[in-house]
Homo-oligomer: A and B are copies of this chain.
């Protein structure tokens, strides 16, 4: 019997579940948490939802977010834990220890790096989002897709695929989303809210970032620079920094986009983006890490020294690809 089959059996049989997703909650973790929770509730189960971190405002319209607990998870080893979208237990933050004491831990995830820390692990790295995995489980449990479950799953899948633009999007992804749309959700209203709307402060920060835009190596490298001071004076939050770095990569002809964020006189956060290069390697050379097209590092030192070092490494990578 596969872990997946055992998981389905437990979900049918047991009556009480704690569902937990990861720190710095994103669309997939929140959407998967809410959809799985509501699905089990519809089966008559007693369910509690936990997320070790702040739910970004743009996701708070989803039904059920107000019931997510952020602070305390009282441990009871007999309760079945369902961990969603979390590649390792450290991602559970303050809930890690309580979760790991449980006898049964169901680990549902799509990250290829998942450490299979559950007592039962269903990890499918071909799934574009954990939301796709939750969809499959709810189908198997014959839970009817109502509008709120469909909306949560739509948020999960659309955010992890950048509205179906990223290369992780598969034919199956689109077929799942077709079924979600049939449950009556409005993709126009949802997408406007989760993708297009930005606070005014974001635009103020964007203006500063473009004003300081520099191009190197025949416009193959684009560099934006922001600082904590600039961010604070424009009224922007650290949330607003997200997204700015993507613009460096989106300039025509640019192979490597860099955002320097000067945290203090002695610390600089560096974000890398590319359409073609493996920036996780570049970040790795600077004691950072990340994904192949999106990575970063945090360097000690004054801005000029850090910038020169980063540009030196960047030029090296750009001119010796594959090394």
CB distance from A222 to the nearest CB of B (A): 8
Tell me the minimal C-beta distance from A148 to chain B in angstroms. Answer: 18
Which of B167, B179, B192, B211 is the one whose CB lies under 8 Å from A275?
B192
Q: Which residues of B contact A72 (CB under 8 A)?
A: none
Mark the stretch among A137-145, A183-191, A297-305 that contacts chain B.
Answer: A183-191
Copies in the complex: 2
Evaluate contact between B170 and A181: CB separation under 8 angstroms. yes
Contact of A179 among B167, B171, B187, B198 (CB under 8 A): B171
State the CA gap A207–B204 with chains docked (Å): 9
In contact, A188 and B164 (Cβ under 8 angstroms): no
Interface flags for A212-236 (1: CB within 8 Å of B; 0: not) read 0101000100000000000000000
- Decide yes or no: A213 and B203 within 8 Å by CB, A169-B187, A178-B172, A250-B196 being known contacts: yes
Rounded to whole Å, the gap between the CB of A170 and the closest CB of chain B is: 7
**Is A247 a contact of B187 with CB atoms below 8 Å?**
no
- State the Cβ distance, A285 to closest chain B Cβ, in Å: 25
* Given A167-B186, A178-B174, A206-B210: A219 in contact with B192 (beta carbons within 8 A): no
A286 to chain B, nearest CB (A): 25
